[in-house]
């Protein structure tokens, strides 16, 4: 009697063999007539109907009217819309498009599109291509299946998508067709925001308005708009598709619900900026190629800290365009990954015990103006003259004020079931919102706070403080604080706590709103001082000093990962909202409702709907996780345990029957003990799950899931992972961490 060989692992082993035989996928890059590879600048944006293409294709007066709409939000008249639509159609058809679609961002985290053919029939019944101004401007998808958080009653299920001319139209290519995509907002019959983009655009407008006022008071003239700029560093994992397809948890939830730690994780720190594996580089190159055609300025690519973790960062753009481009980037990453036999994991924490993924939102404020000297100026650049320094300090402290006042809301803006696993874990920014400024700026603010330079005139004070030297210092200042959720990095803030799978729209909306609020308060303090007859420079310095004092608590230069910070933050009264349900509750605080309505960003009903949609998504994600874990335990892990235990028992019996000792009886006993324990934990999950489901109201339910259900899932995992570590390798059906993280 011999122990029978397990077959559970056959698919795993086959996959590894398959992976070892893979070679990098080659693409044929665009070439000139002589067959030489074209530089990227020659084909960048070929698939976009951007400003320069519009200028080329549109009559001069139409183009100028359109510019007014794009730059200043002026209403578009129907003649202009018809001309633009016609030009866009001609261009799209010449590039092989058969369809068009309004491309928008419902609150699912993804994009949505409904395609319509250009095909129609003329009065004589002849087929022709048509695309009118009204089709460009507006469309009416069946909105009833998108989340509205109670915004729409079913009898008014209509929702409209409306062209957002500030983001260029683009052509989406797929295997057999090309589609002209029209970036759009999605609103209800009554004009309520049903999507992610509307709020973002409204927040940009509000922020611009108050920022322009503030600049005017500081004596800066000729500013048209102040635009938040955004550069989004996108982190992701790659796992070979063959292994991915054997993991129900990755397929259903985007993260591993079980899986033991490999002997080697990221502790050797040899992956970060290491040589990019050949197959991965081939993948990245194709991603970039696709992005370049779409006008997405992909700039950097590198290995991230964890094994098989990578990053892509574009050159920054206006926040609304950057948001669209980040959505496109995630889509392209997913599509191209398939062609390379990879699955891209955008989840915030696909693997326990190794770093999670973020989406660092680099954010600054750019001036647009008619004059060349001002146009493009970054308000977060400290500048070189004392005068510029003063303005910089005024803007900087307004941001501090906004972040301090709305710290809880900013936390809510990044709340998701995925990000809960990352925030506060030992490698990601904590759930406590604080601001890191770096040694130089902190010293300057502290001295301003102490009033060390109070008796001097403001300009003198700035010189004495050495603010004029900031640009130089900031540039080669490498003391990056990776533990801060919101860090100043020389000429921009890096909102690092945003999750890798999230849309940047809502976090940036909230940030814009908070800063608009900070600036409004700054403006009122400043105006008061000026009215009292104070010299402008001194009034600015006075305002800055006041804000520095008020916002001291939100500044933190230390290690955000440390336990001391948790206590220190509690002493300072900073919110520490660890889990999504408590973070989301911030949305309903009077302060939040007031903020959004004050700036015309969201009505109370719109805020409500956002809370509900997010809570619902949180709940659904956790429900899917519970169901997936249950089925993996019941149909994969327990059966594997029984098979191994049975074979072990047979072998033990055979030895004893033969009259020889059976030392593996001990292993069998331990194994059976663990199996028993897994069964108990499995039952406990059932109990807490039922309790959670029986609780009344979404909030209460979400809390149960966040606490009891999550804890129970972790309990199960710890036993399952121990079992994985002792069961014969050729029995185990689920790809292991070492396989998923170390094969490419």
Which residues in this chain contact ligand ADP in the complex, by CB under 6 A? Answer: 229-231, 233, 300, 313-316, 362-364, 378, 489, 491-492
Q: Among all chains, which residue has been given the structure tokens 């906004």?
A: 402
Q: Residue 401 or residue 492: which is nearer to ligand ADP going by CB? A: 492
Q: Residue 28 or residue 476: which is nearer to ligand ADP going by CB? A: 476
Report the 3 state secondary structure along 86-133.
Answer: HHHHHHHHHCCCCEEEEEECECCCCCEEEEEECEEECCCCCEEECCCH
Q: Residue 234 or residue 580: which is nearer to ligand ADP going by CB? A: 234
Least distance to ligand ADP, CB of residue 40, Å? 16
Q: What is the DSSP-derived secondary structure letter of residue 635?
A: I
Q: Residue 7 or residue 300: which is nearer to ligand ADP going by CB? A: 300
What DSSP line would sit under 287-345, residue for residue?
HHHHHHHTT--EEEEEE-SSTTEEEEEEPPEEHHHHHHHHHHHHHHHHHHHHHTTEEEE
Least distance to ligand ADP, CB of residue 195, Å? 23
Cβ neighbours around 51 below 10 Å, total: 14
Least distance to ligand ADP, CB of residue 69, Å? 24
3-state secondary structure of 26: coil
Q: Residue 319 or residue 526: which is nearer to ligand ADP going by CB? A: 319
Tokens in use for 359? 């989406």
Contacts of the segment 9-14: beta carbons below 8 A, 24+ positions apart: 9/729, 9/730, 9/731, 9/732, 9/733, 10/730, 11/246, 11/733, 12/243, 12/246, 12/732, 12/733, 12/734, 12/735, 12/736, 12/739, 13/730, 14/242
- Please answer whether residues 705 and 697 qualify as being in contact, where contact means their C-beta atoms are separated by less than 8 angstroms: no
Distances (CA, A) of 374 to 95, 215, 221, 379, 425: 38, 12, 9, 10, 43
Q: How far apart are CA 495 and CA 497, in angstroms?
A: 6
Q: What is the DSSP-derived secondary structure letter of residue 347?
A: -
Tokens in use for 740? 């998923």
Least distance to ligand ADP, CB of residue 53, Å? 23
Q: How far apart are CA 248 and CA 270, in angstroms?
A: 30
Q: How far apart are CA 462 and CA 456, in angstroms?
A: 9
Least distance to ligand ADP, CB of residue 409, Å? 21
Instruction: Give the H or E element holding residue 425.
Output: none
Q: Residue 493 or residue 506: which is nearer to ligand ADP going by CB? A: 493
Exposure string for 303-315, b = 16+ CB within 10 A, e = fewer: bbbbbbbbbbbbe
Q: Residue 180 or residue 215: which is nearer to ligand ADP going by CB? A: 215
Least distance to ligand ADP, CB of residue 489, Å? 6
Tokens in use for 447? 């001295």
Q: Residue 148 or residue 229: which is nearer to ligand ADP going by CB? A: 229
Phi, psi of 536 (to 5 degrees): -50, -50
Least distance to ligand ADP, CB of residue 491, Å? 6
Q: Residue 111 or residue 234: which is nearer to ligand ADP going by CB? A: 234
Q: Residue 233 or residue 249: which is nearer to ligand ADP going by CB? A: 233
Q: Residue 297 or residue 350: which is nearer to ligand ADP going by CB? A: 297
N-term to C-term CA, the chain: 40
Determine the residue with CB nearest ligand ADP. Answer: 231
Exposure string for 12-30, b = 16+ CB within 10 A, e = fewer: beebbeebeebeeeeeeee
Least distance to ligand ADP, CB of residue 172, Å? 23
Least distance to ligand ADP, CB of residue 361, Å? 8
Q: What is the DSSP-derived secondary structure letter of residue 499?
A: B
Q: Residue 552 or residue 557: which is nearer to ligand ADP going by CB? A: 557
Least distance to ligand ADP, CB of residue 376, Å? 10
Least distance to ligand ADP, CB of residue 479, Å? 12
Residues 6+ apart with CB under 8 A from 446: none
Q: Residue 320 or residue 712: which is nearer to ligand ADP going by CB? A: 320
Least distance to ligand ADP, CB of residue 495, Å? 11
Q: How far apart are CA 141 and CA 155, in angstroms?
A: 15
Least distance to ligand ADP, CB of residue 437, Å? 16
Q: Residue 280 or residue 364: which is nearer to ligand ADP going by CB? A: 364
Least distance to ligand ADP, CB of residue 177, Å? 32
Residues 6+ apart with CB under 8 A from 534: 542
Least distance to ligand ADP, CB of residue 515, Å? 13
Q: Among all chains, which residue has been given the structure tokens 């500048």?
A: 383
Q: Residue 419 or residue 489: which is nearer to ligand ADP going by CB? A: 489
Q: How far apart are CA 89 and CA 601, in angstroms?
A: 33
Report the 3 state secondary structure along 240-279.
Answer: EHHHHCCCHHHHHHCCCCCCCCCCCCCCCCCCCCCCCCHH
């Amino acid at each position: 009697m011999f122990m029978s060989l397990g077959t559970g692992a056959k698919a795993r082993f086959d996959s590894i063999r398959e992976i070892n035989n893979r070679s990098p996928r080659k693409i044929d890059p665009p070439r000139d007539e002589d067959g030489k590879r074209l530089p990227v600048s020659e084909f960048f944006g070929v698939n976009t109907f951007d400003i320069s293409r519009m200028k080329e294709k549109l009559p001069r007066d139409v183009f100028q009217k359109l510019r007014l709409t794009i730059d200043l939000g002026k209403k578009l008249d129907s003649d202009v819309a018809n001309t633009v639509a016609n030009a866009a159609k001609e261009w799209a058809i010449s590039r092989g498009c058969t369809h068009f679609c309004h491309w928008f961002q419902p609150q699912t985290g993804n994009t949505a599109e409904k395609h319509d053919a250009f095909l129609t029939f003329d009065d004589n019944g002849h087929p022709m291509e048509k695309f009118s101004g009204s089709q460009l401007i507006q469309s009416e998808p069946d909105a009833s299946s998108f989340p509205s958080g109670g915004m729409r009653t079913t009898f008014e299920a209509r929702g409209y998508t409306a062209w957002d001319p500030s983001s260029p139209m683009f052509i989406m290519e797929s295997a057999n067709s090309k589609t002209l995509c029209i970036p759009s907002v999605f609103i209800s019959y009554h004009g309520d925001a049903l999507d992610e983009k509307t709020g973002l655009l409204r927040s940009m407008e509000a922020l611009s308005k108050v920022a322009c006022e503030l600049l005017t008071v500081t004596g800066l003239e000729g500013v048209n708009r102040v635009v938040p700029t955004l550069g989004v560093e996108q982190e992701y994992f790659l796992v070979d598709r063959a292994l991915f397809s054997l993991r129900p948890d990755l397929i259903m939830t985007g993260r591993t619900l079980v899986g033991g730690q490999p002997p080697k994780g990221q502790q050797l720190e040899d992956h970060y900026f290491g040589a990019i594996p050949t197959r991965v580089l081939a993948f990245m190159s194709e991603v970039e190629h696709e992005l370049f055609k779409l006008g997405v300025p992909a700039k950097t690519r590198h290995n991230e800290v964890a094994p098989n973790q990578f990053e892509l960062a574009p050159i920054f753009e206006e926040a609304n365009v950057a948001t669209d481009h980040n959505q496109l980037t995630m889509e392209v990453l997913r599509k191209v990954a398939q062609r390379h036999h990879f699955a891209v994991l955008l989840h915030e924490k696909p693997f326990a015990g190794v770093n999670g993924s973020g989406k660092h939102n680099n954010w600054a404020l750019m001036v647009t103006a008619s004059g060349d000297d001002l146009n493009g100026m970054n308000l977060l650049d400290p500048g070189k003259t004392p005068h510029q320094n003063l303005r910089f300090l005024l803007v900087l402290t307004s941001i501090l004020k906004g972040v301090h006042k709305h710290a809880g809301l900013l936390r809510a803006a990044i709340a998701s079931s995925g990000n809960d696993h990352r925030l506060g874990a030992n490698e990601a920014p904590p759930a406590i919102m604080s601001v890191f400024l770096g040694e130089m700026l902190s010293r300057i603010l502290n001295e301003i706070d102490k009033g060390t330079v109070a008796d001097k005139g403001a300009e003198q004070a700035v010189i004495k403080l050495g603010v004029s030297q900031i640009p130089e210092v900031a540039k080669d200042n490498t003391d990056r604080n990776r533990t801060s959720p919101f860090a100043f990095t020389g000429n921009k803030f890096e909102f690092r706590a945003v999750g890798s799978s999230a849309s940047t729209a809502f976090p940036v909306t909230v940030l814009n709103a908070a800063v608009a609020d900070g600036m409004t308060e700054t403006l009122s303090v400043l105006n008061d001082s000026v009215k009292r007859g104070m010299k402008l420079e001194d009034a600015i310095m006075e305002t800055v000093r006041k804000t520095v004092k008020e916002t001291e608590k939100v500044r933190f230069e230390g290690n955000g990962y440390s336990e001391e910070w948790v206590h220190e933050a509690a002493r300072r009264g900073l919110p520490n909202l660890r889990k999504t349900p408590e973070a989301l509750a911030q949305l309903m605080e009077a302060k939040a409702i007031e903020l959004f309505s004050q700036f015309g960003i969201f009505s109370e009903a719109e805020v409500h709907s956002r809370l509900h949609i997010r809570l619902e998504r949180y709940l659904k994600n956790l429900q899917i996780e519970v169901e997936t874990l249950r089925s993996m335990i019941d149909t994969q892990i327990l059966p594997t345990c029984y098979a191994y235990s049975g074979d072990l028992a047979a072998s033990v019996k055979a030895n004893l029957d033969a009259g020889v000792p059976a030392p593996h009886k001990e292993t069998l006993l331990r194994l059976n003990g663990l199996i028993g324990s897994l069964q108990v934990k499995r039952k406990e999950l059932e109990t807490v799950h039922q309790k959670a489901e029986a609780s009344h109201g979404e909030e209460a339910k979400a809390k149960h899931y966040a606490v009891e259900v999550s804890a129970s899932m972790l309990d199960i995992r710890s036993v399952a992972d121990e079992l994985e570590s002792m069961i014969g390798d050729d029995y185990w059906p689920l790809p292991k961490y070492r396989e998923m993280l170390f094969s490419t």
